[in-house]
Structure 1
Amino acid sequence: MTHYLHLADLRTRVGDEIGLSDWVTVDQARIDLFADATGDHHWIHTDPQRAAAGPFGTTVAHGFLTLSLIAELAATAFAVGDERIVVNYGLNRVRFPAPVPAGSRLRGRFRLLAFEPIDGGAQVTTEVTVERDGHDKPVCVAESVTRRYT
């Protein structure tokens, strides 16, 4: 985990990688819980026997599950000492270039794209590249916009 003492310290890091997360395992249990939470029980995610004959040879995580992991990945990638609260403000571009087979290990690389001062803090845009252990192609690339208050 990378630590920054002050939110303002990020201002000079635009264009730089500001953090690399720990690995997170996306197992079938997590995929099933996500399916229950969202109502998306498509067989490609939840039926290992049917998915074995499908295009990926196994079940795969929902794209939105992978996207939702950005919060967990960010929590182990970088921290800012004087932040009181971080609010998810939205997403710009989101792509899922490769699948996430059940049992995959993922981590996130965070590159600072923009730092914009706002009242009480800053709006921070990061490019998040979610990598799958042992594979070159990312499974998700997204621009995450957060509002960070000190």
Structure 2
Amino acid sequence: MRTFNTLSDLAGAVGEHLGHSDWIAVEQDMITAFGEVTGDQQWIHSDPARAASGPYGTTVAHGYLILSLLPVLTAQLYEVRGVSATINYGLDRVRFPSPVRVGSRIRVGAEIVSVEPGSGHATQAVVRMTVQVEGVDRPACVADTVRRFVPDAGGANG
């Protein structure tokens, strides 16, 4: 876990890779639950029998399910202290180069792409998240996440 004590420390780490999270398994119950919550019941995710004869030979995780796991995986990689809020401001670029087959294990690696002043007193950081599937060369997802860090009211986070 990398700890940044100030926003200046975070800015000084632009270009650095922050390591990798632990591996987590993506099982059918997780895929099914996500499909139920989102209403995405496409057979490639929800019907193991039909998916067995599909393009991947099994069910695969929803791309948005993989994106939804980024916060829990990223929390293992870094924290920024001296802030009153961390706001998910969105995504700049997302690609899904390879599928996540049911039963696969994934992890995320993170690289700080940029850190700049945002609106108000916030500092905006772009962190590139690369989701790897164990034993697969191509990443499952590459996403540039945009976070806004609001310094503590004391303003001593420079």
Q: TM-score, normalised to structure 2's length?
A: 0.89
Q: CA RMSD in A?
A: 1.3
Residue number in structure 2 paired with 1:67? 67
Listed one character per residue, the Cα deviations across residues 49-105 of structure 1 (whole Å, up to 9, x for unaligned) are: 111111111100001111121111111111122232211101111100000001111
Residue number in structure 1 paired with 2:147? 146
Question: What is the letter of the counterpart of residue 67 of structure 2?
Answer: L
- Report the secondary structure of 2:11's partner residue: helix
1:125 matches 2:131 = no
Higher helix share: 1
Report if the CA contact (8 A) 1:47-1:59 is conserved. Answer: yes
- Report the secondary structure of 2:15's partner residue: coil
Question: What is the letter of the counterpart of residue 117 of structure 2?
Answer: P
Listed one character per residue, the Cα deviations across residues 107-132 of structure 1 (whole Å, up to 9, x for unaligned) are: 11111111012333310101111111
1:1-150 alignment, distance < 5 Å: 1-118=1-118, 119-150=120-151
Cα distance in 2 between the residues matched to 1:43 and 1:96? 19
For structure 2, which runs of at least 5 residues remain unmatched after alignment?
152-158
Residue number in structure 1 paired with 2:154? none
Larger Rg: 2
The 3 A distance-change label for structure 1 pair 81 and 112 is: same
Question: What is the letter of the counterpart of residue 145 of structure 1?
Answer: V
Cα distance in 2 between the residues matched to 1:147 and 1:21? 21
Question: What is the letter of the counterpart of residue 25 of structure 2?
Answer: T
Moved over 6 A (4+): none
Cα distance in 2 between the residues matched to 1:90 and 1:78? 18
- Report the secondary structure of 1:25's partner residue: strand
Cα distance, 1:19 vs structure 2: 3.9
Cα distance in 1 between the residues matched to 2:14 and 2:76? 20
Cα distance in 1 between the residues matched to 2:19 and 2:80? 11
Cα distance, 1:2 vs structure 2: 1.7
For structure 1, which runs of at least 5 residues remain unmatched after alignment?
none
